[in-house]
C-alpha cells in the first residue's frame, strides 16, 4: 500500500472516530477542537426524566363509607375532664380505715375523669346528606352526653377534723361514699362547659378529617348540639 493510500485510510478512520464521539457526547463534554463538529453532526438531546409525586388516594365518600369511618372513630370524638369534689362522710363508722376517727368529721377529696361525647349508636345513612354533585356534605350527630365518671384512687384522700391527713394509700371508699363522689363529680360536669366543648371539638375536628379524605369537597358541615343533663338534688 502506497504512503498516499495509507494517509487516506488513517484520515478516514480519524474522521469516523470523530463522528462517533461527537454523536454520543453533549456539547459541554466535547473538547474545543471537536465542538465545531456539532455543526455537522446532529446532537442527541439529553433525555430528562421527571418523577412527579403521586397524589394521595382520594376516598370516595358515599354514605356507607362515611358510616363505617365514623363508627371506627367513636373514641376519637370524645372530650374528657378531671373534676375534683369534696364532701363530708356521713357515716364514718362504715369506713374500715376510719376506726381511729370515729365520731369526728372527715372531709373527703375525690377526683374523677369524666368523658363527654356523642353516641354513634343508631347512626346510619339517614343522618347524612350529600348534594347531587357530591361536593357538599352534611352530617347530623346526636347531642353530646356525659358518661359515668371514673374515680381516680390516686387523687382521693381524707382529712379529719383534728387535722390528721389520710393519704390515698389508706383510703378505701365504701360504696356509699363512692356513689356520693360520682354524683358530685357528675353534677360539677353538668354545670361546666364540658358538653359544649365536646360538641365543638367533634364538629371542628370531624369537618377537617372528612375534607382530608376528599379534598374535592367544597363544604362539610357537622351538625351537633350540646346535650343537657340534670343536677341531682
The answer to whether position 82 is within a domain reads yes
In a domain, 57, yes or no: no
- The whole-number pLDDT of residue 33 equals 45
pLDDT on residue 151: 93
Q: How many CB atoms lie within 10 A of CB 141?
A: 21
pLDDT at 195 over 70: yes
Indicate whether 21 and 125 sit together in one domain.
Answer: no
Residues 19 and 118 in one domain: no
Domain match, 118 and 163 both:
yes
Statement to judge: residues 20 and 88 lie in one domain: no
Task: Looking at the structure, tell me whether residues 169 and 133 fall in a common domain.
Answer: yes
Answer yes or no: do 170 and 92 share one domain. yes
Q: Give the whole-number percent of the chain exceeding pLDDT 90.
A: 37
Same domain, 17 and 81: no
Residue 53 counted as domain residue: no
The pLDDT score that the predictor gives to residue 46 is 44
Assigned domain for 230 exists: no
Strands (E), the chain: 78-88, 106-117, 128-130, 136-140, 145-146, 150-160, 165-166, 219-223
**Within a domain: 231:** no
Look at residue 39 and tell me whether its pLDDT is greater than 70: no
Give domain status of residue 99, yes or no.
yes
Q: Among 72-86, 129-143, 181-195, 214-228, which stretch is predicted with the lowest mean pLDDT?
A: 72-86
Burial class (CB in 10 A: 0-12, 13-18, 19+), 184: buried
Residue 26 sits in the same domain as residue 134: no
- Binned at pLDDT 50, 70 and 90, residue 133 comes out as confident
Domain-located, residue 51: no
76 vs 129, higher pLDDT: 129
pLDDT of 44 above 50:
no
Overall average pLDDT of the 139-166 stretch: 91
* Cα 31 from Cα 37, distance rounded (Å): 10
Could you read off the pLDDT of 64-120 as tens digits, one per residue?
888 888 877 766 568 899 999 999 986 666 678 888 888 888 999 999 999 999 988
Q: What is the total count of domains within the chain?
A: 2
Q: What is the pTM of this model?
A: 0.67
Q: Using the predicted structure, report yes or no on whether residue 20 has a pLDDT greater than 60.
A: no
My answer on whether 22 and 125 are in the same domain is no
Q: 68 and 25: one domain? A: no
Domain assignment of residue 9, yes or no: yes
**Which domain, by its residues, includes 7?**
3-39
Amino acid at each position: 500500500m502506497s504512503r498516499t493510500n495509507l494517509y487516506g485510510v488513517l484520515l478516514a478512520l480519524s474522521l469516523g472516530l470523530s463522528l462517533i464521539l461527537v454523536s454520543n457526547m453533549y456539547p459541554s463534554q466535547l473538547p474545543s477542537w471537536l465542538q465545531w463538529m456539532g455543526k455537522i453532526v446532529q446532537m442527541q438531546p439529553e433525555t430528562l426524566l421527571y418523577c412527579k409525586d403521586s397524589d394521595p388516594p382520594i376516598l370516595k365518600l358515599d354514605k356507607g363509607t362515611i358510616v363505617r369511618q365514623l363508627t371506627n372513630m367513636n373514641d376519637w370524638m370524645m372530650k374528657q375532664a378531671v373534676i375534683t369534689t369534696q364532701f363530708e362522710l356521713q357515716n364514718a363508722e362504715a369506713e374500715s380505715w376510719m376506726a381511729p376517727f370515729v365520731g369526728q368529721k372527715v372531709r373527703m377529696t375525690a377526683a374523677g375523669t369524666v368523658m363527654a361525647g356523642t353516641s354513634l349508636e343508631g347512626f346510619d345513612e339517614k343522618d347524612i346528606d350529600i348534594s347531587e354533585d357530591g361536593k357538599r356534605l352534611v352530617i347530623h350527630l346526636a347531642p353530646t352526653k356525659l358518661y359515668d365518671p371514673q374515680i381516680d384512687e390516686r387523687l382521693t384522700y381524707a382529712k379529719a377534723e383534728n387535722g390528721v391527713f389520710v393519704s390515698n394509700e389508706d383510703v378505701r371508699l365504701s360504696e356509699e361514699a363512692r356513689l356520693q363522689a360520682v354524683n358530685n363529680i357528675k353534677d360539677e360536669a353538668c354545670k361546666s362547659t364540658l358538653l359544649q366543648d365536646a360538641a365543638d371539638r367533634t364538629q371542628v375536628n370531624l369537618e377537617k378529617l372528612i375534607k382530608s379524605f376528599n379534598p374535592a369537597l367544597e363544604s362539610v358541615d357537622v351538625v351537633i348540639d350540646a346535650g343537657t343533663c340534670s343536677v341531682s338534688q
